[in-house]
Structure 1
Amino acid sequence: MADRVLLTGATGYIADQLLPTFRDRYQMVLVDVKAENRQGERVDDVAVTDLIDTDRSKYAHLFDGVDAVVHLGYKRRSGDPLEHFYDENQNVTMAYNVLRCAYEAGVPRVAIASSNHAADWYEHNLIHTRQMEMLDPYALPLSDNFYGWAKATYEHLGFLFANGLGGFNDASGRQSHTSNLAAGRRMGVVMVRIGAPRHLDINLYTDDPANYKRDLGAYISPRDLTQLFVKAIEAPNIDNAHGVPWQVVYGISNNTRAFWSLSNAREVLGYAPEDDSEVIYAEDIRRLLIESGAPGGRVGA
């Protein structure tokens, strides 16, 4: 079991859901660019730090003596979607800095908030057109936006650090570049493709039953989200089929309308979600989907 956990994005929306349990369970090192949450409330003990800064000497010490890192930190994108590359590229830099600091500090396990958007091309083009029933997390990540591209890039970065045996090679595969990295060390990395970690307010879906059905499949409750991240940093063995300690798992509850597979989250991490959106939102489903005569099916119109 991890004793000391570093949490980035500690004043953010996801951290708000994790922190009550995490503070009881672990010694916490909290990092964010500000000390107040979205409600303007101060979060105690936050080290105000910009992890995008490439001078890692400013914050690398925070990773010393840490048993696990949970990386939730994120810079919001703005402007035209074609310009989102620039903000998302900074998020990729931040993910690299976190992984690099954790690797050099000897941290055994890192869990990173990826997103369902890392592979949402499948959802938009195959799931909702009913050409695919269930998406496996090991399918090649394909996105149709820069946010998803960045998350997919996080996942590949995580694989590089998890596959650290023998150092890092150049593209020819012949020359190792380990610099001051711990040559030969494999750092466990779990990428959590978070679904819809929010209350599904029926008033936001009055004229959009198709999107409501989609979000019922993507929903994850606060207690399931917390359990999943706890499992991600505490599971004793996360090796994949090739012996690399790297997993990509979907972050959803035990939803009747799920269209993302939880198979490896259950089998490798021991994740046992307790909630189902079909039960939690049964009355809203009756009103919006059944009584209104909305088309059937788990997703789509």
Structure 2
Amino acid sequence: MSTVTRRAVIDLGTNTFHLLIADVSATGGISEIYRERIFVKLAAEGIATIGKAPFARGIKALRHFRIVLDEHDVPEVNAIGTAALRTAANGKEFIREAAEKSGINIQLIDGDQEAQYITLGVLNAIPAAEDRVLIMDIGGGSTEFIIADERQVYWRRSFPLGVSVLMTGFHFSDPISGGEVSALENHLKTSLTPLREALATYPTTHLVGAAGTFDVLAERLQDTAAPRHTTSHQLNIAGFGPLYERIVGATLAERLALPDVPEERADMIVVAMILLRFVSRLAGIDRITVSDYAMKEGILLARPQDAK
């Protein structure tokens, strides 16, 4: 008889704080008990320093999570800080105040550790990856890329190319101008040189996306003819181009009116789509899978050696 442990993971992302409470079996099964996300947008006033209002929103979210954790009698909580808390000058101050006001102790991890957890979560969510896949997790402050199959990880890297960073640096017009798109693509061309080199060594045309923008794509572009899977979804890749044009060519008001585009993502989804198109062209992607698991599930599944 397997032992089941109730655990919780809080992912303190640059845009969103996620709480996942689950029962985890000794054999690695995850039974979700509770899930919630709160859009705090820590970088709304810049990623170099967390502004007063985003700081307060973040602490308020954690105090709420504390209440939920107590209601569900969770003995083990992993609260993980990523790009924004790594970058912000007052990130440590936020961590101290979070502990004082919510009793939640935050652990900062670097981009490589983040990519390791994402890899573990994604590979446990999709059908066995017999061939290499390119895993992509678009965050607010960073984007992680991993090239892997079910046997090994060939390459991984975190880039400071999150949607908050890209929107602040390149999206000024409404809708975004052609010049801004070109400037962003030129920036990506330079910044993602290591990814281009890795793909030359370990080519793959299968992209696996985790969380955020990919959840929006899963709602709009799910391939209903593909075999059903419990924790991943195939996309109809032919629909990406028209959806890209519709989103990137729209004003903010028009994006807010689009079905399945959450209000909280409507501002940043433009740069996310540009990033996704750039990467798809770079790798020659002909297949996209969306994983229901990402970093949070990877943390739940991790053994001590997986976090090294």
TM-score normalised to structure 1 length = 0.29
- When Rg is computed on C-alpha atoms for both structures, the one with the higher figure is 1
Higher strand share: 2
TM-score normalised to structure 2 length = 0.29
Higher helix share: 2
